[in-house]
Structure 1
Amino acid sequence: MIKKELLVFTSNRKLKRYLDNFGDGLLPKTISINEFFSKATFSNKLSLVSDMNRIFIMQEAINLTKNSSKTIHLPKNEFEFLKNGEYIFSFFKELAVTKKSISDLKFSDIYANYEEHLEILEELLKNYKNLLTRNGFYDDITICDDYIVNEEFIKNYNEITIFIDGILSDFELEILNKIRNLVEVKFNLNANYLTKKMLSFFVDIKQNLEFGSIYEFNLSNFSLELKSEFKPNCDQIFVRGFDLKALQCFYIFEKISYFIECGIEAKNIAVILPDDKFSEILMNLDIKNMLNFAMGKRLKNTNTIKILEILRECVDLNFTPNLVNNYLKSDFFDTKSLFLNEFKISPSFFENFKYKFYQKCNFTDFMGILDEILNSTKELNLKEKLNPLLFEIEIFLKSRSLKFYEICELFLLKINNLKIDYVGGGEISVLGILECRGIKFDAIIIPEFNDDLVPKRSVNEMFLNSKVRSNAGLISYKDREDLQKFYYENLIYLAKKVAICYDSSKGKNVSRFLNRFKNTIDDRKFSDEDYLNIFKGKKISPKPLNLVFTHDFFEQSLSFSRLNLFLKSKSSYAYKYILKIPPSKPVNCEFDAKNKGILMHKILEQIYVKYEFFDYSEFKNLFLKYFDFISELEKAIVLKKFKEVEKVFEEHESDGWQFYKSEAQFNDVLFEGILIKGIIDRIDVRDGDICIIDYKSGSVNANSLQIPFYKALMGLSDDVEAKFFSLKSAEFITSKASLEKLIEKINEIKEISNRAYDFYDKKQYEYSDYPVLIKDYNERLS
């Protein structure tokens, strides 16, 4: 008789690794454990509920359950539940698969109202199960109470071997206890902290199990046989802390190179991630395509989904993006318009999107919008990945009527955890800890080895503490954490080479679990600066710009801004006024401090032109009009500060000073043999005297030559009153600079005007419009 054996693996990765090592010949029949239990059981009369229907049925159950939202703060509507409701399903599923009921939790008063909360949860679960059955559905919670073993599937085989690298639930063990009466069932066990407890479902195991060793447990006769002993390979573990996640990535790449130099094949090296989110940073920095990301790429990071999110944000914020053909020629940029223009999203498309946003919408209309976005991004291959979700939404919309924005929100929330395969990577695998259970690698690298991630906490801690779980017979948090630690220990001890890095920034701690390993080495071969320098990448630079020029400073009238730029940064002056290189353009200028200052000047000018004194009510109206883009908190802070400004201006005006002119423009004024020009913010007068005022929205430099320059524009002497007014600190600040100092600087410039002069500056000017050019030039000369 031909032996028909089925091999069941706890992860697809281990299944694939097993087949890769199998060699030539007829491959055995293999299956993942999730697929196995899915095929091994079924419901006789009910259909499996879709994720979307399941959520809306649970929300209906919440609405039927008295005090569910008020007392234990369950989500009140479907969309809130989509965002925050997973923990409820997780809690109920854990009870179901461990064959426990909420009654098992009612044994003591853990906190005030504990009994009441359990009764609400018990009623909620009952309502949910009833609604699910009434609608003809089952899910992974209710199947635990009412299922049939699929004997036809099971009897295709005469032996089933299940490779177990963790533990199975009581529900899964219950199923296998029934199956063992139909065929021979064996466990291939990688012994861990909970193996004996799991096997006690069948028989009490007396012998001690060595963690990491492989045992075979036969469910026919409950025999237990040691197949291979645990043999650690790892002799040392490199450990390093970094302040930045990017440096952890660079450390990973350096260690990969080192391990390959040690003779380890790339396919036998793995990067193990305690948190999948780290993969996004690592993916962006993997410019050499060394890595293959088993977890795939998050669908929400595709351009199609980003455009949909940006369009939704624009409508939500009542923001109209600037969608034009030559957007890059605009004076200012904002990130939303930049992104939408990159994919040629038209104004008419945005207006159509905005019009539909709050309208009732059918599936065809929604698909019309999505298809147009897919055509713009050229990501048409996403359609295949999206089809199951889109089909689910289409079916769902046949029974419910939603507005367009609700469908968008539903779509975006459901897509949050979807991923697409990572294509084009290298041989080195990047895996989550659960994906590599039972797999041996010659070398591993583990980043983010921090206390909050290793081991990782469970979502179910929201409901039950360790004491409740222990008394109820549920797996405790300590057991769960010990199991995770076992996965890490198994990987680390079986590898020949191991490197671990962690976040050492303020408030972060390396995992205490690291203390369990005695063979750690503080890896200080390279400094942080070394890692940054190694991975800066090559610069493609032409030969250095020559900054030696013969320049006529006074060919045109000299403004204070031009004079000040030369004094602050000669390199910036050369780039702007000699080489005529356009400065970098700001992005999101509505939040830029410089532009806020310009708006504030405009408001003050309008007030004084209208009233000739400071009027707080008018200021408030104009401020709220022009600064509608800032937060309510920032508005409140500014308005409070300008109450102080009002008092200072009142004192100034009570001294007899009257507003005379704002934005006073002076052109081609002769001073010290040269022509100068400029615009003065404000001029006040009193009995024939003059007071020059310059508004400053940022910091004030009392030694600036700006006030003497303004005096020179008006032909005034040093003793004329002139001062800065700080809008930030609500005070007048007297200038410490003199006309004599201004003349001295102008004479120095006269000496170099029309002569060869090197505009190279070693110092970096903080406010330069050319920081990249200056930094690059300095690096090439250093």
Structure 2
Amino acid sequence: MKCLVFSTHRQVRDFISEHDNTILPKLYTIDEFLKRCVVVPEKVFVDKSERVLFLYKAAKSVDIGKLGFDKNFLSFIQNSSFIFRFYEEIFAEQVDIDTIRSADTYANFEDHLVLLKELFNRYKELLEEEGLVDKITIENFRIAETFLEQFEEIELFVEGYLSRFEIGVLQRLKVPLKIHFAYTPFNKKLIDRLGIDESLPIDYSFEFDWQRKKIINKILLPKVKRDAIEVSAFEERINQVAFVLKKVEQFIEDGANPDNVAVIVPDESFSEYLKLFDSVKNFNYAMGTPFVQSSYYRRLADLYDALTDAKESAKAKIVGSDIANSFEQVDGFESFIEFLQNLPSTVKELEIIDEELFMFKRFAPLLEDVKPLHLLHSWLQRLEDKQIDDVGGGRITVMGVLESRGKEFDGVVIVDFNEDIVPKVDEKDLFLNSTIRKHAGMPTRKDKENLQKNYYYRLLQNSKRVAISYVKSEESLPSRFLFELGLKESKVQDELYRAIIAPSTEIPKLEDVPIVAKNLFLEEPKLTPSRLKDYLVCLRRFYYKYQLKIENEVESGDVNIGTLIHSALEEAVNQKNMFSSHKDYHAFVMDTLYKSTTSPLQRFEISLEWEPKLQKFCEIDFESLKGFKQECIEKWCSSEYFGFELSSKIDRVDLGETVVRLIDYKTTKNIDNTVKDENDFQLLFYRLWAEANFPNRRIETIYWDIYGSKEVKVDTTPKKEQLAEIVNELKQRKEIDFTKTDDIKACKYCDYKVACGRDV
């Protein structure tokens, strides 16, 4: 019997459908095949829920706080996936932590790696005590000969990459093995990994005899028909939906089989736009529907938001409702489970709920004393990444690029072909960077990008017709990969396609009624930098925000990193007498910063991106911190200027015998934009306050660019005359015509664009 091994389940399903009414060989995905091949003697593999429990027990003997993790069990459940992901990758590449430490030349992650090794060893010990093994702790294994002896031959179809562990398993197979792969400009890593020494021509598919290490067949691949690939740009992301609908219609009218037409979504969130306009259900969605959109999840999310005062709208729906009354009766883990089981749900929802409840109940011994509200939060977290299968869709498939591997299409439409989306790789490298990866022999960011590029390149080769769209705006650029493929940019096509999804010949416009109102500055002559900036950027925004006092409802969520850094530095300056070196300064800032957030993503961002930058900041800033008196720290300071009260919150004032240093911390990644902002008077407000309070000292106004690790001194003199003109004008005007700004870019993220009609 022959055995065929594919990269994806979709390839297996397609093979079955193409060979209907025939005797099929054994079919597996590569993951399924390897699991059947590998046997660890006298050990049982730990299941998904139990591995979290064992890791939690192991963490009790390790100071995981230094990794940015909380020992609270509910927080740990959420964070454990990040730790397992690290262990899984280094196992797959057969690299131990000591090798990574030796590759970490600058010891950027030394403390983290020592703790991760200690945690791993303890986790492994606990598993062994119970006769268990995890896929990440496998050391000695044997090949399941009884499973393999049923096969006369195995054929493996590789669409991507093979890890060192996978290669190691294949090397121990005795059954004749043939590997099918394509060689493109982007997958040399696979050729190296297969150990092929001979020079191979690019853009061929090969059949490789694994045991004999010999190419036994090659076939020229279809060329990428660049002249036949249509590329269109859109200013608004949603207008790509119209492009998709039109191109799919054209493909089918020209004879394409709808079953062989696909829409590729590099960012799966785009599928939600498609669903809005898929009224006749032409599409089926390989990624399913996010569980967070289910009525079951929304009811629980509203309950949580109401109980935590996160949203007023949630309170209005929940207070006094049946679900709120039922939750009041919850007094422990068992009653919480009963509460969940009594909630109404659909059949599709119940499939996911039952599976997750089964896993959740396994944690009962550790959750008996947890408050009901925390249990609810943890339950919502367990469900937020789940997907409900789309079983009732149409014949045209919407899928990610991974699902397209190995398939041939009559036509494909690829959307969001933008920089940072195509190719898309993880932004955060957990305890690893590209330098360490290279020295440790692990896939680097460039390797991962090339793997993604290879998927798209093979997709173009395997598709008879291709249409590509991307967003073109100040914030979004076409992917550089577009030009690497030899394709050209397009002019924006919004007007050409928009009518397909917004067929009205005339877009209704709100009547732009002029708004003229009295000048409130005459009654209350006060300015802050933000108030002045709003006035200068858009008078209409100023009117809504300050004269009508319309406030946007703030959504609950994590405080941004910049705010956390400001708070940590404020506390550090207040405690500066504790520090005898810049290392003490840095250690205090980082400890404060980690304690200020429970978000695992924020903690990783702090650890991997901001910790080295703050280390440099503390090295440079320590002398100033100790050498000057800090007159003010995060304090509102006011001064009088031509009859106006100017108030600003100064991050830090360093006072010396002859100089006053006015410091504004900045965590932006582009300090030049801040320096050039003609509507930003923050530093000038600082200077005017200092001139009034320290007339005999030299004044320095400084942006402390934390991301760029440097002080940027700014001359605010040119803005003094400009401010005088603005203040003089405000004193003379009895009324103000609150016109809309001419700069449309300022409207993009404005909270009031709907009110003024700029969102139409």
Q: 1:535 is matched with which residue?
A: 501
- For residue 265 of structure 2, the aligned residue among 273, 277, 281 is 273
Question: In the alignment, what sits opposite 1:240?
Answer: 232
The one-character-per-residue Cα deviations of 1:234-289 (angstroms, maximum 9, x if unpaired) are 23222222232211222211211222233322222111111222222222332232
- Which letter does structure 1 place at the counterpart of 2:123? Y
| Residue among 28, 31, 38 paired with 2:28 | 31
- Runs of 5+ unmatched residues, structure 1: 320-333, 540-564, 569-590, 599-639, 649-728, 738-765, 776-782
Deviation for aligned residue 1:5? 0.8
Instruction: Indicate yes or no: 2:343 matched with 1:373.
Output: yes
2:472 match:
504
Question: What's the CA shift for 1:595?
Answer: 9.5
Partner of 1:388: 355
The separation in 1 between residues aligned to 2:301 and 2:160, in whole angstroms, is 39
Correspondence 1:570-609 to 2 at 5 A = none
The aligned residue for residue 294 of structure 2 is 302
- The residue aligned with 2:404 is 436
The offset of 1:440, in angstroms, is 1.6
Q: Distance in 1 between matches of 2:237 and 2:754?
A: 29
Partner secondary structure for residue 240 of structure 1 = strand
Quick check: 2:43–2:133 contact (8 Å CA) kept in 1?
yes
Q: 1:105 to 1:21 in 2, by over 3 A?
A: same
Change (3 A) 1:730 1:384: farther
Partners of 1:165 and 1:191 within 8 A in 2: no
Matches within 5 A, 1:217-228: 217-228=208-219
Secondary structure at 1:313 match in 2: helix
Find 1:79's aligned residue among 74, 80, 90.
74
Asked if 1:10 is matched to 2:7, the reply is: yes
How many angstroms does 1:361 deviate by? Answer: 2.1
Quote the offset at 1:162 in angstroms: 1.1
Tell me which residue corresponds to 2:115. 120
Residue 413 of structure 1 corresponds to 381
1:351 to 321, 325, 333: 325
- 1:448 and 1:503 in contact (8 A); partners too: yes
Within 1, Cα distance between the matches of 2:27 and 2:435? Answer: 40
8 A contact 2:305–2:315 mirrored in 1: no
CA deviation after TM superposition for structure 1 residue 98, in Å: 1.1
1:381 Cα offset (Å): 3.5
| Alignment-mate amino acid for residue 300 of structure 2 | L
Select 1:214's aligned residue among 187, 205, 222: 205
Matches within 5 A, 1:771-782: none
Cα offset, 1:519, TM superposition: 4.5
- Is 1:311 aligned with 2:303? yes
Q: State how 1:590-739 maps to structure 2 within 5 Å.
A: none
Superposed CA RMSD: 4.0
Q: Superposed, which structure 2 residues align to 1:108-507 within 5 Å?
A: 110-112=105-107, 114-143=109-138, 145-178=139-172, 180-181=173-174, 183-192=175-184, 197-198=189-190, 203-211=195-203, 213-232=204-223, 234=225, 235-317=227-309, 335-336=313-314, 347-356=321-330, 359-362=331-334, 365-374=335-344, 379-398=346-365, 400-401=367-368, 402-458=370-426, 461-507=429-475
1:264 is paired with a residue whose SS is coil
Distance 1:199 1:511, change over 3 A: closer
Q: Residues 386 and 254 of structure 1: is their aligned pair in 2 closer, same or farther, counting only changes over 3 Å?
A: same
* 8 Å contact from structure 1 (residues 82, 413) kept in 2: no
Question: Any conservation in 2 of the 1:59–1:77 contact (CA below 8 Å)?
Answer: no
Cα deviation per residue 1:485-519 (whole Å; 9 max; x = unaligned)? 11111111332221111122322221111112225
3-state secondary structure, aligned to 2:5: strand
Residue type at the aligned position of 1:168:
L
- What is the aligned-residue identity percentage? 28
Offset at 1:9?
0.7
TM-score normalized with structure 2 length: 0.64
Q: Secondary structure at the match of 2:403?
A: coil
Work out the number of aligned pairs and report it.
543
Distance 2:56 2:452 in 1: 33
Once the two structures are superposed, what CA deviation does each residue of 1:452-495 show, in whole Å capped at 9, x if it has no partner?
11111236623222222122111222122111111111111332
Whether contact under 8 Å (1:190, 1:438) holds in the other structure is: no
Match of 1:40 among 33, 37, 40: 37
Whether the aligned pair in 2 keeps the contact of 1:166 and 1:192 (CA below 8 Å) is no
Deviation (angstroms), 1:315: 0.9
Letter in 2 for 1:148: R
**Cα pair 2:37 2:147 within 8 Å, conserved:** yes
- Whether the 8 Å contact between 2:284 and 2:396 is mirrored in structure 1 is yes
How far apart in 2 are the matches of 1:473 and 1:567? 66
- Measured in 2, the distance between the counterparts of 1:348 and 1:438 equals 50
Answer whether contact 2:186 2:454 (CA < 8 A) is retained.
Answer: no
5+ unaligned residues in a row in structure 2: which ranges? 506-511, 516-543, 552-635, 645-728, 738-751
Q: Provide, for residues 675-729 of structure 1, a one-character-per-residue CA deviation record: whole Å limited to 9, x for no partner.
A: xxxxxxxxxxxxxxxxxxxxxxxxxxxxxxxxxxxxxxxxxxxxxxxxxxxxxx9
- 8 Å contact kept, 2:196–2:213: no
> Aligned partners of 2:496 and 2:260: how far apart in 1?
27
Change (3 A) 1:24 1:489: same
Letter in 1 for 2:135: D
C-alpha deviation, 1:730, in angstroms: 12
User: What amino acid does structure 1 have at the position aligned with 2:114?
Assistant: E
Q: Which residue of 2 aligns with 1:723?
A: none
> Aligned match of 1:69 in 42, 65, 68?
65
Query: Does the aligned pair in 2 maintain the 1:238–1:522 contact within 8 Å?
Result: no
Deviations 1:35-80 (A, max 9, x none): 21222223344443343333343344334224x423x434443333
Q: TM-score, normalised by structure 1?
A: 0.62
Partner SS for 1:99: coil
- Once residues 506 and 155 of structure 1 are traced to their aligned partners in structure 2, the CA distance between those partners, rounded to angstroms, is 60
Amino acid at match of 1:336: A
Q: 1:201, CA displacement in angstroms?
A: 5.7
Deviations 1:397-428 (A, max 9, x none): 15642433333233222222221211322111
Match of 2:719?
none
The residue type paired with residue 402 of structure 2 is: L
Farther-moved stretch of structure 1 (298-307 vs 379-388) = 379-388
**Structure of larger gyration radius:** 1
2:98 paired residue number: 103
Give the direction of change, closer, same or farther, for the CA distance of 1:201–1:354 in structure 2 (3 Å limit).
same
Q: Using the alignment, how far apart are the partners of 2:316 and 2:415 within structure 1?
A: 34
Counterpart AA for 1:149? I
Name the CA distance, whole Å, in 2 between partners of 1:445 and 1:485: 16
CA distance in 2: counterparts of 1:360 and 1:731, whole angstroms: 63
Cα displacement (A) at 1:449: 1.0
Say if 1:98 and 1:530 are closer, same or farther in 2 by CA, change over 3 A: same
